[in-house]
Chains A and B, each alone.
Chain A
């Protein structure tokens, strides 16, 4: 029983998605005032950076970005044999009154986003929280839906969707594996 792998998006496709999402964010929020981009560790970090850079290119303004580690807010921490490795949260600005765009590479059950929202609320009181994901692979277990989606990719539970973003240009891709 071999492992099948299919590339569903390449570097160019990903770049176009990010660009479109950036324009959508700007349109929905009527500009970029009070906007901050928070990437969820680990899959959302590079994506958040790219999104924030793209918005800066389009708009000319500085968009603060940060990294959120949700390990301590997970609902599956104490049921299992190992503790996931804790990473740092780095949000060096206040969230009060801001429009927070949470960013992750894939949304699946929605539990990660639930944890992320609980973490953000402990940080302060944002005006709004919006969610941007590159891939929506379905199978939600909570009533959570993204505001911005790169691509909808219906998948089976035994498949794995992997987003590979590289800091080096030209090496990105999204694959679905069995």
Chain B
């Protein structure tokens, strides 16, 4: 059983069978994190480089734990502590890395397509941990695993994804992955935060929160990103929250057994009310646990390379 390509650059071209394989494998990996010795020797002697040019703590730590639990040697390169500050190009960095012969490189970069460049230049398996606003495939995979766990299936479920879609690589990867798995995806958000013609990806688009989350099995709230100048897109945080926040009142439009998700970090009181984020319908913490399992599954499936 293998994935079709040596890299995971996004979910746009990943087949249904491959997604199922990754999710099934991840499920088996969950059990390892409950053992006393949370380690298996599978990737012993393999080198995993975490190349996080765009900073991250959660995703990077998740990949680091995943690699270490598989007994791999995990090396972290972060933007500030590396040659990028000195102006080294991605290509030169890549070729430097190549001479260290890593088996897997996990890359997060603010430029869309950066992982694809590495995949072309290097023999190592490349995992995209987020490239600009393009894709964040491991997040979407852990989201789908979390949904499948709670609901027992993916096909036919209605998912609402609400927020600043245009800047969200999480939304994009989820749209690709979920439509591939036969889910009904409804997008919700203000018109200037939703790319034009998004329906072409097989989703429905709504500008009113109520329309997006009505009868939804799953509601996924995206973070309103302060650092991307909210003021130029929206008059104020409060106004956004007024129209698009998931609260005790608005959540009643979804199904009674709805599950609430969020890729994190949460802006309490902005896109999601604190009591909803911490309430019984929320599976936000499950998502984090599943993140390690999904990343272990990917390192396992991609690690070892082609001999």
* Among B39, B42, B300, B304, residue most surrounded by chain A Cβ atoms (within 10 Å): B42
**For A124, what are the chain B residues with a Cβ–Cβ distance below 8 Å?**
36
Say whether A123 contacts B303, CB under 8 Å.
no
Say whether A86 contacts B25, CB under 8 Å.
yes
Bitwise, A130-148 to B at CB < 8 A (1) or not (0) is 0000000000000000000
Residue of A73, A83, A89 near B304 (CB, 8 A) is A83
A88 close to chain B: CB less than 8 A:
yes
From A48-56, A74-82, A99-107, the one touching the partner chain is A74-82
Instruction: Label chain A's interface by main secondary structure.
Output: loop
Say whether A82 contacts B1, CB under 8 Å.
yes
From B26-34, B78-86, B142-150, the one touching the partner chain is B26-34
How many residues of B are counted as interface, with CB atoms below 8 angstroms from the partner's CB atoms? 24
Say whether A81 contacts B40, CB under 8 Å.
no
**For A73, what are the chain B residues with a Cβ–Cβ distance below 8 Å?**
40-42
Bitwise, B37-81 to A at CB < 8 A (1) or not (0) is 101111000100000000000000000000000000000000000
A153-B236 Cα distance, complex, nearest whole Å = 79
Among B278-307, those with CB < 8 Å from A are 297, 300-301, 303-304, 306-307
A84 close to chain B: CB less than 8 A:
yes
**For B46, what are the chain A residues with a Cβ–Cβ distance below 8 Å?**
78
CB within 8 Å of B: which residues of A?
69, 72-73, 77-90, 118-119, 122-124
CB within 8 Å of A: which residues of B?
1-2, 21, 24-25, 27-29, 31, 35-37, 39-42, 46, 297, 300-301, 303-304, 306-307
**Subset of 9 A-B contacts with CB under 8 Å:** A69-B28, A72-B42, A78-B46, A85-B21, A86-B28, A88-B28, A89-B28, A122-B40, A123-B37
